[in-house]
């Protein structure tokens, strides 16, 4: 049985349920990590809280962190409902998901590879952990980074990003594959911007450690 970590964006969370269940039916152990980006941004704007990103990561004030949690709770509940009775909600800060604080970004953390017991127990019981990426602190953690950290900590064989884009574009061309070294070099050179940056960096990190990674139809390989 192959263990996979599947990251779903907030924009496609509930629509991804059939894909996730399909992977389970194929015999994979699946850990789901979800974002809530659009929901967080909409609610922050509604409350008059500044929305700011630095290299694809959200600068998070204490008031912003409250919005992050509320939005994560809503998306987690919707995704668990879409997945059915096998889904188990997991909130990282309560499960022992660890991160290093990043003070310039506020209440934000860089996740550490770890193996939360609640997630392992759910997998052992044949269930689907659905993880909201809030770390002990509490700290807001980018869901892409969280997925890579959990893939490393849990010994996953694959990391799959389900997103609202078909894959990675290089010079306006959708590529089938990119190697981790080239991806990292291009990221360092500023070749990409926006939400693809943390996805590609996380995928390259995983691929460099021997984990097969996919962003849409694009494979990120060692």
Rg (CA), the chain: 16
The SS3 of residue 140 is strand
Query: CA–CA distance from 98 to each of 13, 24, 116, 196 (Å)?
Result: 23, 27, 9, 24
CA 130 to chain centre: 11
* Pairing status of strand 109-111 against strand 3-8: unpaired
What's the predicted TM-score (pTM) here? 0.93
Domain count for the chain: 1
pLDDT, position 190: 87
Over residues 114-162, the pLDDT tens digits come to: 999 999 999 999 999 999 999 999 999 999 999 999 999 999 999 999 9
Q: Which two tokens stand for residue 212?
A: 């097969």
Over residues 52-86, the pLDDT tens digits come to: 988 778 999 999 999 999 999 999 999 999 999 99
The SS3 of residue 216 is coil
Question: Any idea what the CATH number is for the domain that residue 168 is in?
Answer: 3.40.1160.10
Do the Cβ atoms of 8 and 79 come closer than 8 Å?
A: yes
Q: Which two tokens stand for residue 45?
A: 């704007």
Rounded Cα–Cα distance for residues 219 and 37 (Å): 24
CA 77 to chain centre: 16
Q: Which domain holds residue 74?
A: 3-221
pLDDT, position 9: 82
């Amino acid at each position: 049985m192959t263990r996979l970590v599947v990251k779903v964006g907030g924009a496609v969370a509930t629509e991804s349920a059939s894909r996730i269940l399909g992977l389970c039916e194929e015999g994979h152990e699946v850990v789901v990590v979800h974002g809530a980006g659009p929901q967080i941004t909409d609610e922050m704007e509604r409350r008059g809280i500044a929305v700011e990103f630095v290299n694809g990561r959200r600068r998070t004030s204490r008031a912003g962190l409250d919005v992050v949690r509320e939005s994560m709770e809503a998306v987690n509940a919707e995704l668990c409902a879409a997945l059915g009775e096998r889904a188990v909600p997991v909130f990282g800060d309560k499960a022992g998901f660890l991160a290093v604080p990043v003070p310039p970004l506020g209440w934000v953390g860089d996740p550490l590879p770890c193996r939360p017991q609640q997630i392992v127990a759910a997998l052992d019981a044949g269930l689907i952990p659905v993880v909201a990426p809030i770390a002990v602190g509490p700290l807001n953690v980018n869901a892409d980074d969280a997925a890579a950290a959990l893939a490393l900590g849990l010994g996953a064989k694959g990391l799959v990003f389900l997103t609202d884009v078909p894959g990675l574009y290089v010079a306006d061309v959708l590529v089938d594959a990119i190697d981790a070294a080239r991806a990292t070099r291009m990221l360092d050179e500023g070749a990409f911007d926006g939400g693809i940056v943390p996805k590609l960096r996380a995928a390259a990190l995983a691929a460099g450690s021997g984990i097969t990674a996919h962003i849409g139809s694009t494979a990120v390989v060692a």
